Amino acid sequence: MIVEPIEFGLVIQIRTTITKSFVKHFLEALSKILDTLESLEAPNSDICPLTGEVIYENNCKMVNLTDLSTEVNVRLSNEAVT
């Protein structure tokens, strides 16, 4: 498993050939990902990924992003949504 920082994110490589193997190693991968993000002083989930402003309960909206068959709910600041 490889987790390494690049200019705009992380490269994550998990070398498994079957789904069961991936599931077994996922917690280890998640731990390495979170440790790497912490070492890079990456912002927590209270920062809007588009505007960089601090998100509070009263200045954000949940936005549903759909790309083909994948749906992701993302919390964005009101400024990012308008």
**To the nearest whole percent, how much of the chain has pLDDT over 90?**
7
In terms of domains, do 49 and 82 share one?
A: yes
In terms of domains, do 33 and 59 share one?
A: no
Q: Which domain holds residue 82?
A: 44-82
Q: Is the pLDDT of residue 80 over 70?
A: yes
Q: Is the pLDDT of residue 16 over 70?
A: no
Check residue 62 and report its DSSP letter: E
- Residue 68: what pLDDT? 65
Q: How confident is the model at residue 40 (pLDDT cuts 50, 70, 90)?
A: confident
What's the whole-model pTM score? 0.47
In terms of domains, do 55 and 31 share one?
A: no
Q: Which residue has the tokens 């390495």?
A: 32
Q: Is the pLDDT of residue 64 over 80?
A: yes
Total domain count, the chain: 2
